[in-house]
Chains A and B, each alone.
Chain A
Amino acid sequence: MVRYSAFEIFKQGLTGHRNWPALWRDPVPKERYDVIIIGGGGHGLATAYYLAKEHGITNVAVLEKGWLGGGNTGRNTTIVRSNYMIEGNTEFYEHSLKLWEGLSQDLNYNVMFSQRGQYNTFHNPGQRDVARRRANTLRLNGIEAELIDAKQMAAEVPGLDYSANARFPILGAMYQKRAGTARHDAVAWGYARGADSFGVDIIQNCEVGEFIRDQGRITGVRTNRGDIRADKVGMAVAGHTSHVAAKAGLTLPIETHVLQAFVSEPLKPIFDTVISFGAAHFYISQSDKGGLVMGGDIDGYNSYAQRGGMPTMEHVFAAGVSFMPYLSRLKILRQWGGVMDMTMDGSPIICKSPIDGLYINGGWCYGGFKATPASGWCFAHTIARDEPHEFNAKFGLDRFSRGFALDERGAGPTPHAH
């Protein structure tokens, strides 16, 4: 692997930048591996990277049915934050944020992680109390969070509707300074390059048909590129976790729903942060190319279609325009939908499955992007050591039947929590 540096750029420049090597090999699948990871998105590639780097397991294959990062890794709004309140989530997402902070250096690949901060606005005294409680909980856990009033927010983020006549007047916001955004494709590519450099085989256009079993134990997978055997098989296919798990005979506490995201025409810089509207589901940031990247709620009905419907689009922009009136003048250039594993408590699943040899990483609802580094890190630990790390100890499948659901929203058993 060529290590990226200023010197390397200079050196490659001497030959007109024509000799940069490919970021990863395109290997033919071997017959046998120590570990197979199904799913070449951010989470699967991160798992392979940390299996090799932290646990010395390099005889690993990542199987991807399409191209790297072509699923939900490429279908999100790239927001990274760690303002989770429930024990179990708090330390996990904070660990993830810490990994993000060193990720570009660790991977020697610029994932363009930009800690531009994130505001969660509140619009009535009740919401302010909830935000204060959340901020205090975070601070008790050593995670920074600030409560700011509308006056301060207006100075920091001009252009929102701060008037008393707003449909939902802004009273202030909870602010996390270390939150931000990253370049989603770069995360997949950086982890792929890193894993490949340790000898991990990244195999694209390789779809898993069914599992190979030996006396109940999973010992490999049948794919469109032949049978591949392994001691352990991990799946990181959020959005399709139920679909793949069903091939192994598992039924999971997950429903699949579609979530949309939108990008506007490019603009000159308007705001340099991430803003989440507290009165309805709407979040927005501005990309380096100038487009406003926006998202809202899931469409509301079960779906495996990677596209969204117009009613939700209208709903998202109604919320956006009431919050940032200038959005009404903009054109939307791109819109896409991704399918989400919506768990029944809004929290993810990283654990050994009830079937020997099979490990599950999924249930990311619509918050998986920010978790990518810690997800891979914890999943690698779980696969390598056959037991969860303390950071994912509460993400087991059995938490539902045991009565230990991680209900961040406090909404009860519903596939709409997050």
Chain B
Amino acid sequence: MIRIDCPFCGPRDETEFTYGGDASRARPPLDETSEEVWNTYVFLRPNERGLHEEYWFHQHGCRAWLKVTRDMVSHAISEVVFARKDKST
């Protein structure tokens, strides 16, 4: 069981959350027409055996999207921030 320390609700079980996948990618602007850029965004993943930035949605809690940094081997979480706040800064 992964426990995520939600900045609003405090530590909660992973079962309260929905996984949102890799948070390290930035969507290209819509006027981008390069096939390679879109291929990289849609399909390619660094998939490193180390720290992974990922989105989790606190569906059964405060319903905020979070950005979590988690180790892919130990599952230890080193950082949890609001995804939205992270974007604006």
Interface residues of A (CB under 8 A from B): 240, 242-243, 246, 251-256, 300-305, 309-311, 344, 400-401, 413, 415
Task: Report whether over half of chain A's contact residues are helix, strand or loop; otherwise say mixed.
Answer: mixed
Contacts of A246 in B (CB 8 A): 46, 48
What residues of chain B have their CB less than 8 Å away from a CB belonging to chain A?
A: 1-2, 13-15, 19, 21-22, 35-36, 39-40, 42-49, 52, 54, 70, 72-75
Are B49 and A304 within 8 A (Cβ)?
A: yes
Q: Once the chains are docked, how many angstroms separate the CA of A253 from the CA of B42?
A: 9
Chain B residues with CB under 8 A of A303: 72-73, 75
Q: Which residues of chain A have C-beta atoms less than 8 A from B46's C-beta?
A: 242, 246, 251
Residues of chain A within 8 A (CB-CB) of B48 are 242-243, 246
| 7 A-B contact pairs sorted by A residue (CB < 8 Å) | A243-B49, A254-B45, A301-B2, A301-B54, A304-B73, A344-B42, A344-B43
Chain A residues contacting B44 (CB-CB under 8 Å) are: 251-253
A-B contacts besides A251-B40, A311-B14, 19 pairs, CB < 8 Å: A242-B48, A243-B47, A243-B49, A251-B45, A254-B47, A255-B45, A256-B49, A300-B19, A302-B47, A303-B73, A303-B75, A309-B1, A344-B42, A400-B43, A401-B35, A401-B36, A401-B39, A413-B42, A413-B43
A315: nearest chain-B partner, CB-CB: B15
Question: Would A302 and B72 count as touching, CB distance under 8 A?
Answer: yes
**Chain B residues near A413 (CB, 8 Å)?**
42-43
| CB–CB B36/A304 < 8 A | no
What's the nearest-Cβ distance from chain A to residue B34, in Å? 11
User: With A and B bound together, what is the CA distance between A415 and B54 in angstroms?
Assistant: 14
A344 vs B75: C-alpha distance in the bound complex, in angstroms?
A: 23
| B19 to A, closest residue via Cβ | A301
- With CB as the reference atom, state the residue of chain B lying closest to A341: B47
Residues of A within 8 A of B43 (CB): 253, 344, 400-401, 413
B22 touches A255 (CB 8 A): yes
In the complex, are the beta carbons of A400 and B45 less than 8 A apart? no
Nearest residue (CB) in A for B18 is A300
Partner of B39, one of A255, A309, A400: A400
**Chain B residues closer than 8 Å to A302, beta-carbon distance:** 21-22, 47, 52, 54, 72
Q: Does A240 contact B45, Cβ atoms closer than 8 Å? A: no
A242 touches B47 (CB 8 A): yes
Contact B73 A305 (CB under 8 A): yes
Write the nearest CB–CB distance from A270 to chain B, whole angstroms: 31
Tell me how far the C-beta of A347 lies from the nearest C-beta in chain B, rounded to whole angstroms: 13
